[in-house]
Amino acid sequence: MRTLNTLLIISFLLGSQLAAQQQASPQGNATFIETKAQRDRRMSWWREARFGMFIHWGLYAVPAGEYNGKRSDRIGEWIMEWANIPRADYEKFAGQFNPVKFDAKEWVRIAKDAGMKYIVITSKHHDGFAMYGSKVSKYNIVDATPYRRDPIRELAAEAKKQGLKFCFYYSILDWHYPAAYVDAPGKVPTAGNRTTKLTPGGKEEYVKYMKEQLRELITKYDPAVLWFDGEWQDWWSEADGQELYHYVRTLKPDIIINNRVGRGRQGMQGMSKTDQEYAGDFGTPEQQIPANGLPGVDWESCMTMNTTWGFKFYDDKWKSSEVIIRNLIDIASKGGNYLLNVGPTAEGLIPAPSVERLAAVGKWMKLNGASIYGTTASPFSTQLEFGRATSKPGLVYLHIFDWPTDGTLRVPAWGKAVTKAYLLTTPARSLKFNKRADGVTLQLPAQAVDPIATVVVLETK
Ligand code: FHN
């Protein structure tokens, strides 16, 4: 009897302890117990990193945006959808996929020299093709293409060697999975489509399949982030997302998972709804930057360099290096990460316009990286007219886009006193400044160091 009582007391204590910890987990990962301190430790490298490379690479690089002479303004990796390509025809691209020019060392060098700290590559996109040596599906680069090599294994090893974090994109939507079919007017049932249906019993089967693929991806390549996508299916619920989140964290407790594992995301705006706790560690705005900072919220804006994620040979709507660098600064000034995409060719090359722009970003980051890495959002309550700001304890970095013609920079007050000011590139040469009731004015040199963005450091107390 006594033992039963003792047992009851213990289980009651345990129960309330568990509840307390569940309440403690800030994000919607109710199924995974973690204190704020543990979460901060797990997220720290990611928050410090601020800048990563997104890689959309797959069979869609073979048609490269054209099918039977048909082109589209739509994104290249959706060609199976917008060209209504039946599964059996799309599979034929595997026979033509032979990226002999792929060089893991060069890809990682390009990312590293751009100042990027992590790489997120498509292990499987909506077309269901595994870009790694999968034991779970024969529809993969080693078994189904003349290439017969595993570029993901090489890239993971090289990223480790060059000190970048290696991460995976994985699509929940799978146009190739046998139980999936399309039920939409004018669509071939086995073609691509925004939404699919699953035959009876197909969902359980498919979730089992996904878990097997995620297990081999995590145990074989040890990714630091799982970047899910394609979750907007009617057959995929928040509960499914919570369960998958728990499954993945159980496989690798310190892994980081985006909010597209569940159903919390609010479309392209990317942040999770707040009516309940949703699965995921960070929000994912897509092709956009939040208007205002989101202090204390982990988020990452992903963006193309032209208008497609997967390679399209005729898409030359490239963003300028200036736009890309100012996006990075804008995002960091709002407390977010920037995941910038490249879409390599079927030969295994990152397009030259991407390489050129990344080199230009790297040049700026080499001189100004301290004003991005490990910073937090701007301390100013309003948007600065002349540019943006990031901060660290005791430091504020002013990123000047518009250089004052009279050489006087007017900085509004934000509650801290400036003790010293200098250009980030010439710390030994202090800048004159005057304290005023509404802020501080700085005397700047006549010319900007860099017209894209010149960084002034304010030391504060
Ligand atoms: O459909 C995908 C698209 O192909 C691409 O992968 C982007 C990248 O974030 N996500 C989806 C669209 O929201």
Q: What is the pLDDT of residues 297-324, one digit of tens each?
A: 999 999 999 999 999 999 999 999 999 9
Mean residue pLDDT of the chain comes to: 94
Whether the CB of 286 sits within 6 Å of ligand 1: yes
Calculate how far, in angstroms, residue 42's C-alpha sits from the geometric centre of ligand 1: 26
* 350 vs 23, higher pLDDT: 350
Calculate how far, in angstroms, residue 38's C-alpha sits from the geometric centre of ligand 1: 30
What pLDDT score was predicted for residue 441?
A: 97
Calculate how far, in angstroms, residue 131's C-alpha sits from the geometric centre of ligand 1: 17
Calculate how far, in angstroms, residue 171's C-alpha sits from the geometric centre of ligand 1: 9
What pLDDT score was predicted for residue 96?
A: 98
User: For ligand 1, what atom is nearest to the CA of residue 122?
Assistant: 6
Whether the CB of 229 sits within 6 Å of ligand 1: yes
User: For ligand 1, what atom is nearest to the CA of residue 169?
Assistant: 6
The 3-class SS string of the chain reads CHHHHHHHHHHHHHHHHHHHHHHHCCCCCCCCCCCHHHHHHHHHHHHHHCEEEEECCCHHHCCCCCECCECCCCCHHHHHHHCCCCHHHHHHHHHHCCCCCCCHHHHHHHHHHCCCCEEEEEEECCCCCECCCCCCCCCEHHHHCCCCCCHHHHHHHHHHHHCCEEEEEEECCCCCCCCEECCCCCCCCCCCCCCCEECCCHHHHHHHHHHHHHHHHHHHHCCCEEEEECCCCCCCCHHHHHHHHHHHHHHCCCCEEECCCCCCECHHHCCECCCCCCCCCEECCECCCCCCCCCCCCEEEEECCCCCCCCCCCCCCCCCHHHHHHHHHHHHHCCCEEEEEECCCCCCCCCHHHHHHHHHHHHHHHHHHHHCCCCECCCCCCCCCCEEEEEECCEEEEEECCCCCCCEEEEECCCCCEEEEEECCEEEEECCEEEECCEEEEECCCCCCCCCCEEEEEEEC
Calculate how far, in angstroms, residue 164's C-alpha sits from the geometric centre of ligand 1: 23
* 26 vs 268, higher pLDDT: 268
What pLDDT score was predicted for residue 3?
A: 53
State mean pLDDT over 162-175. Answer: 98
Whether the CB of 77 sits within 6 Å of ligand 1: yes
Percent of the chain with pLDDT over 70: 93
Using most ligand atoms within 8 A of CB, pick from 53, 60, 171, 286 the residue to mutate for ligand 1.
286
What pLDDT score was predicted for residue 30?
A: 52
User: For ligand 1, what atom is nearest to the CA of residue 341?
Assistant: 8
pLDDT > 60? residue 11 = no
Whether the CB of 127 sits within 6 Å of ligand 1: no
Whether the CB of 172 sits within 6 Å of ligand 1: no
What pLDDT score was predicted for residue 138?
A: 98
Whether the CB of 75 sits within 6 Å of ligand 1: yes
pLDDT > 50? residue 28 = no
Which residue owns the Cα nearest ligand 1 atom 4? 77
pLDDT > 90? residue 393 = yes
* 11 vs 444, higher pLDDT: 444
What pLDDT score was predicted for residue 325?
A: 98
State mean pLDDT over 175-181. Answer: 98
Calculate how far, in angstroms, residue 286's C-alpha sits from the geometric centre of ligand 1: 8
pLDDT > 50? residue 347 = yes
User: For ligand 1, what atom is nearest to the CA of residue 75?
Assistant: 4
Calculate how far, in angstroms, residue 229's C-alpha sits from the geometric centre of ligand 1: 7
Calculate how far, in angstroms, residue 310's C-alpha sits from the geometric centre of ligand 1: 10
Calculate how far, in angstroms, residue 376's C-alpha sits from the geometric centre of ligand 1: 27
pTM of the model: 0.94
State mean pLDDT over 437-451. Answer: 96
What pLDDT score was predicted for residue 296?
A: 83
Which residue owns the Cα nearest ligand 1 atom 5? 309
